Amino acid sequence: MRGIGKRIQKMREQAEFTQESLAEEVDISASYLSAIERGVKTPTLDTFVRILNAIGAEPNDVLAEVVPLERKEKRSQLEERIGALPLRKQKKVLRILEVIIEEVEK
């Protein structure tokens, strides 16, 4: 979580927010925001989204260092390959993936 907190801090500073002004904007305490930025606390999804919206950041901007690039690249390649298929075949691939995921989740 420290990497996410550092990215939030960097993007907050780029957006020219102080901790106090951003905390006020997203309705949290400055000490809580400080703890998030230091990686001591993990924000709820709702708080995370409010922070990103306030500083004008995309989730990928903040999570890029946390999600391994290799997985993201592989996902992108698969999305591209599936997207290149005719719609009927896309639906077939997605149905197959849904069945696989259901089996793995059991």
pLDDT of 31-85, one tens digit each? 999 999 999 999 999 999 999 999 999 888 888 766 666 666 778 888 899 999 9
Which of the two residues, 106 and 33, has the higher pLDDT score? 33
pLDDT score of 106: 87
Instruction: Assess contact for 63 and 4: CB atoms under 8 A.
Output: yes
Structure-token match 């059991």, residue found = 106
pLDDT score of 67: 66
CA 79 to chain CA mean position, Å: 18
Residues in the chain: 106
Structure-token match 């998030």, residue found = 36
Dist. CA 31–CA 82, nearest whole Å = 45
pLDDT score of 37: 95
Structure-token match 């391994």, residue found = 68
pLDDT score of 70: 66
Of the ranges 27-31, 74-78, 85-89, which one carries the lowest mean pLDDT score? 74-78
Instruction: Assess contact for 37 and 5: CB atoms under 8 A.
Output: yes
